[in-house]
């Protein structure tokens, strides 16, 4: 018996814009940018829209870092793009690191650690500190010297590095 109510192939997808910090390989300094994220997928796993260049299928490694500042703590996700053919990142050279490709830093919320929140104010300095301490000089094309990348199964069980500002 045929259905009387049509079944729609897709749901309404909501988009959110979160403010993150971008370290682009062809720029001279890092900057804040709005990063578009869909509501239907895990928000911190959708960093492809932030990189937006000619390498859409390159590998993106996600790392979490906690920065202690006095009595407060700030958690960030550092997303590093890696593939053959990416240029040397000029911004990280100024910060004392070495990386080929772009880096995006998002602040992670305290109430819901699976969602990003908008960055602003002093978060620029904190993000610069996190990137400077996390991405160390290690040669062309290697992964940054950070703990294991976040996996889909055990994000909560991994050891998150703690940096003191």
Give the residue with greater pLDDT, 136 vs 122: 122
Q: How far is CA 132 from CA 12, 80, 98, in A?
A: 40, 13, 9
pLDDT-based confidence at residue 116 (cuts at 50, 70, 90): confident
pLDDT at 92 over 80: yes
Q: 52, 46, 63, 45: which is closest to 24 by C-alpha?
A: 52
Mean of the per-residue pLDDT values for the chain?
Answer: 73
Looking at residue 61, its pLDDT comes to 81
pLDDT 10s digits, 48-66: 667 765 555 667 788 888 9
**Structural contact between residues 80 and 60, judged by C-beta atoms closer than 8 angstroms:** yes
Whole-number pLDDT of residue 157: 43
Averaged over 92-98, what is the pLDDT? 79
pTM attached to this predicted model? 0.73
Look at residue 121 and tell me whether its pLDDT is greater than 90.
no
Cβ contacts of residue 87 below 8 Å, gap of 6+? Answer: 25, 26, 100, 101
User: Which residue has better confidence, 118 or 148?
Assistant: 118
pLDDT, one tens digit per residue, over 5-25 is 443 445 677 777 889 999 988
Handedness of CA 127, 132, 136, 142 (dihedral sign): positive
Identify which of 97, 87, 106 has the alpha carbon closest to the alpha carbon of residue 144. 97
> Is pLDDT at 96 greater than 80 in this prediction?
no
pLDDT value of residue 41:
63
| Contacting residues for 25 by C-beta, under 8 A, at least 6 apart | 86, 87, 88, 89, 90, 91, 100, 101, 102
């Amino acid at each position: 018996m045929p259905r009387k109510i049509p079944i729609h192939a897709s749901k309404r997808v909501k988009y959110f814009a979160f403010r993150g910090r971008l370290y682009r390989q062809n720029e001279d300094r890092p900057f804040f940018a709005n990063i578009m994220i869909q509501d239907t997928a895990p928000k911190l796993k959708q960093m492809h829209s932030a990189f937006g260049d000619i390498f859409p299928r390159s590998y993106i490694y996600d790392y979490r870092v906690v920065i202690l500042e006095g009595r407060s703590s700030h958690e960030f996700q550092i997303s590093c793009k890696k593939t053959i053919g990416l240029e040397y990142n000029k911004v990280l050279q100024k910060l004392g690191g070495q990386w080929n490709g772009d880096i995006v830093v998002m602040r992670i919320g305290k109430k819901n650690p699976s969602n990003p929140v908008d960055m602003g104010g002093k978060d620029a300095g904190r993000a610069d500190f996190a990137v400077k301490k996390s991405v160390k000089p290690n040669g062309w094309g290697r992964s940054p010297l950070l703990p294991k990348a976040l996996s889909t199964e055990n994000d909560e069980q991994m050891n998150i590095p703690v940096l003191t500002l």
